[in-house]
């Protein structure tokens, strides 16, 4: 039986031909990394957020939204005790409803309790009215319902290995995350251990950050994320050039 579920993005060319996930270059790369951190790849059940391949990111995002109810249904069939690893943004969005992989990776998530009732009543009303967007609302309700069935599951998001193959800046991050996943799967890392090191706070305003930093010991280490998916990306922050105040 599987000890962990890996959720990728979509099949690549080779996966499409063979009809199996992670049999191409990305899969090979991931197998190698798993070996390095003592994570037994053969104990991982493999899933993809979309079942069809696309060359274009936007199409891929759309496919994974359409496919989300199917993915969530299949994930719900696994033993609730085994963790779900989401690779990259589309699988993390489908499973957790969180858009940013850079803000979600590195944390051990517990899937939230959700009530799909309100989403369903909105979708049903729109259908009765014949509103043009009723199908979109229907899909959304199916997704919320699918996520509600995963409440309480442990979810470990990380960057996608295919992304790391293109930009090895992220290789250390993927390795750190896989090592944490491996410890979780082996039972060497548990919620209790994490809580002993906590409690955690999430802050984003400068004053709040100052207040939290002041509570720490004189020597601290800070991991700075620039907030964009690539260094020097969208928000203009470049760790090689910007000064940290």
Stretch that binds ligand URA, among 14-22, 168-176, 200-208, 212-220 (CB under 6 A): 14-22
Rule CB under 6 A: choose which of 4, 5, 21, 94 binds ligand URA.
21
Residue 60 vs 154, nearer CB to ligand URA:
60
Cis bond before residue 48 (omega within 30° of 0): no
With 0-12 CB in 10 A as exposed, 13-18 as middle and 19+ as buried, what is 68?
buried
Tokens of 74: 């299949």
Q: Give phi and psi for 156, each to the nearest 5.
A: -120, 95
Q: Is 68 in the site for ligand URA (CB under 6 A)?
A: no
Minimum CB–partner distance for residue 6 and ligand URA (Å): 9
* Cα 123 to the center of its chain, rounded Å: 27
Copy the structure tokens of residue 144: 């919320």
Among 11, 69, 116, 146, binds ligand URA (CB under 6 A): 11
* Total length of the chain: 245
Binding residues for ligand URA restricted to 103-162, rule: CB under 6 A: 162
- Smallest distance, ligand URA to C-beta of residue 110, A: 24
| Binding footprint of ligand URA on the chain (CB under 6 A) | 8-12, 15, 21-22, 24, 26-27, 48, 162
């Amino acid at each position: 039986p599987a000890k962990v579920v890996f959720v990728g993005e979509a099949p690549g060319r080779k996966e499409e031909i063979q009809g199996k996930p992670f049999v191409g270059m990305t899969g090979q790369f991931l197998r190698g990394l798993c070996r390095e951190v003592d994570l037994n790849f053969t104990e991982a059940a493999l899933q993809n957020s979309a079942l069809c391949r696309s060359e274009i990111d936007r199409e891929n995002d759309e496919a994974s939204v359409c496919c989300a109810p199917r993915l969530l249904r299949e994930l719900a069939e696994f033993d609730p005790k085994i963790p779900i690893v989401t690779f990259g943004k589309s699988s993390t969005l489908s499973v957790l409803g969180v858009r940013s992989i850079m803000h979600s990776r590195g944390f051990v998530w517990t899937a939230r309790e959700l009530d799909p009732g309100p989403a369903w009543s909105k979708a049903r009303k729109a259908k009765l009215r014949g509103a043009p967007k009723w199908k979109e609302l229907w899909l959304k309700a199916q997704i919320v319902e699918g996520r509600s069935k995963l409440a309480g599951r442990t979810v470990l998001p990380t960057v996608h290995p295919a992304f790391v193959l293109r930009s090895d800046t992220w290789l250390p991050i993927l390795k750190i995350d896989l090592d944490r996943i491996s410890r979780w799967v082996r039972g060497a890392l548990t919620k209790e251990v994490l809580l002993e090191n906590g409690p955690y706070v999430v802050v984003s305003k400068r004053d709040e950050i100052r207040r939290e930093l002041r509570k720490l010991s004189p020597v601290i280490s800070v991991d700075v994320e620039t907030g964009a998916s690539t260094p020097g990306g969208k928000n203009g922050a470049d760790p090689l050039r910007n000064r940290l105040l």
